[in-house]
Amino acid sequence: MEIDNMTALEVRNALLNDMQNGINAAWRNPAKIPYAEAIGHAPLGRVDVFDARLRVKHFAPLMMKLFPETAANNGIIESDLVKIDNMKQFLNDKKNCNILGDLFIKMDGELAVAGSVKARGGIYEVLCFAEKIALEKGILDDDEDDHTKLATPSAKEIFSQYTIQVGSTGNLGLSVGIMAAVLGFKAVVHMSSDAKEWKKALLREKGVTVVEYEGNYSEAVAKGREAASKDEFTHFVDDEKSVDLLLGYSVSAHYLKKQLKKKNILVDENHPLLVYIPCGVGGAPAGITLGLKLAFGDNVHCFFVEPVSAPCMLLGLVTGLFEHISVQDIGLSGKTEADGLAVSRPSGLASRLIRPFLSGEMTVHDRMLNRYLKALWNTEGLFIEPSACAAFEGVAVLHSIETAEYADSVMNIKDGTMKNATHIVWATGGGLVPEEIRQELINKAEYTEE
């Protein structure tokens, strides 16, 4: 494609045509603007993210009490940042890439309690709701009071009068359901037909009510929202609209910055940071990106990756229609092996927020997810779930020989500094996948390139 000779409209139409025909896309976001300007207009900013970080700290003693495994990190739910040289070599050899700089993986699949990135947002939102009730009912005197009081029998009795509901493709239901049930809330998770059986079974085991829907994710969310709106004792965790959820994800950047510092990894004008994040409805990647932008400004470049069959965020951004267009509107199925990304319509909040910050997007075929899954297992001995593997397509596409031109146009990175880059593949889930399903996923994948 001779991009220079095409108008913006033609570029957009060609991209939409590719998307409709199931061709994987590499998109540069034309709406990205310098950080200083973007943050000035953003609906959420430094104060909000800082406030969320403080709140996470206030909850830490409670988390240690409820989940002793979080004590090793003082009650803060965080994941490791692991250098994956062997996987980098694999991508260079098998994907015909030339990755400059170092490749890391952010192991959010190993986050305590919920085993996915949802341990950041989902747990945070449940805790915020519990704190609000506790303040109203006098369990807590103020927001700096001892939050372990939320885990006393008297608190539990009060919480048991409330129901927390959520619509989920799987992992959000796990995090919200587990956290709500532990505090004594009644929990109801509305699941789309894409949700994996083992996720439903695990929730039922924890005492959570699972309601199943034939339809897709947006329908599950709408049903949950409707059920909750009729009842003042019900709180609905709204994946398409919730600010708390998004802010819960944003806290990650602060701890990532510390991790990078500890590893003596520089991020500055001469040392760019590139981050690749799988995207479903958009709350998690948008929250993480907001946090990263606040932490690193123009020196961080964020890319979202979505399935070829469910590129809802890309569609919302490219058309400028945000949540008012679904992938079915352009004839796509929305069906994918990547259950966490099986979303047909993006979050209005996340898509609007992210528009001026995001560097670009890639879409990925399902068959590649399994290959990345197997490659990561074989080269590094790390297991992540198929949805999380989408992030590898980001780094692969950005560095594939054929798309070098795209890479240049996207990044606006100072000449000669890519060799100093740090790449982070955000591995969003996999920690709770049962052993036998892990084996199945590992065995079924091919180790080879197409």
By the criterion CB under 6 A, which residues form the site for ligand PLP? 116-118, 171, 278-285, 340-341, 385, 387-388, 428-429
Please identify the residue of the shown chain whose CB is closest to the bound ligand PLP: 280
363: enclosing H helix or E strand: strand 360-364
The distance of closest approach from Cβ of residue 123 to ligand PLP in the complex, given in angstroms and rounded to an integer, is 13
Determine whether 316 is exposed, middle or buried from the number of CB atoms within 10 Å of its CB (0-12, 13-18, 19+).
Answer: buried
Q: How far apart are CA 88 and CA 376, in angstroms?
A: 10
| Cβ proximity to ligand PLP, 117 vs 256, nearer residue | 117
Q: In sequence order, what are the residues at sequence separation of 6 or more whose Cβ sits closer than 8 angstroms to the Cβ of residue 205? A: none
CB of 276 to ligand PLP, least distance (A): 12
Q: Of 42 and 407, which has the nearer Cβ to ligand PLP?
A: 42
Closest to 445 (Cα-Cα) out of 363, 386, 395, 380: 386
Residue type, 292: L
The residue among 14 and 442 lying less far from ligand PLP, judged by its C-beta, is 442
DSSP state of 97: B
Q: Which is nearer to ligand PLP, 316 or 429 (CB)?
A: 429
Nearer Cβ to ligand PLP, position 79 or 420?
79
Q: What are phi and psi of 446, to 5 degrees?
A: -95, 150
Helix (H) or strand (E) holding 344: none
Q: Give least dist CB 433 to ligand PLP, A.
A: 10
- How much of the chain is helix, strand and coil, in % rounded to 5? 55, 15, 30
For the bound state, the minimum distance from the C-beta of residue 352 to ligand PLP, rounded and expressed in Å, comes to 14
Nearer to ligand PLP, 61 or 122 (CB): 122
- The nearer residue to ligand PLP, 133 or 195, going by C-beta atoms, is 195
Q: How far is the CB of 319 from ligand PLP (least distance, A)?
A: 18
- Please report how many Cα atoms fall inside a 13 Å half-sphere around the Cα of residue 433, on the Cβ side: 25
CB under 8 Å to 346, separation ≥6 — which residues?
281, 282, 312, 313, 315, 316, 317, 322, 323
- Min dist CB 280 to ligand PLP, Å, is 3
Q: Which residues pair with 360 in a beta bridge?
A: 28, 303
> Closer to ligand PLP at the Cβ: 158 or 313?
313
Rounded least distance, CB 222 to ligand PLP, Å: 16
CB of 278 to ligand PLP, least distance (A): 4
Q: Which is nearer to ligand PLP, 79 or 116 (CB)?
A: 116
Looking up tokens 């303040």 gives: 135
Q: What separation in angstroms does the CA of 285 have from each of 159, 247, 276, 305, 388?
A: 30, 11, 9, 10, 12
Strand-pair category, 102-107 with 273-278 = unpaired
Least CB distance to ligand PLP at residue 340 (A)? 3
User: Considering the complex, what minimum distance in angstroms separates the CB of residue 216 from ligand PLP?
Assistant: 13
Q: Specify whether the CB–CB gap between 164 and 231 falls below 8 A.
A: no
385: Cα within 13 Å, side-chain hemisphere: 27
Q: Where are the beta strands (DSSP E) in 80-149?
A: 81-83, 102-107
Rounded Cα gap, residues 162 and 237, in angstroms: 13
Of 60 and 208, which CB lies nearer to ligand PLP in the complex structure?
Answer: 208
- In the complex, the smallest distance separating the C-beta of residue 432 from ligand PLP, rounded to whole angstroms, is 10
Nearer to ligand PLP, 202 or 284 (CB): 284
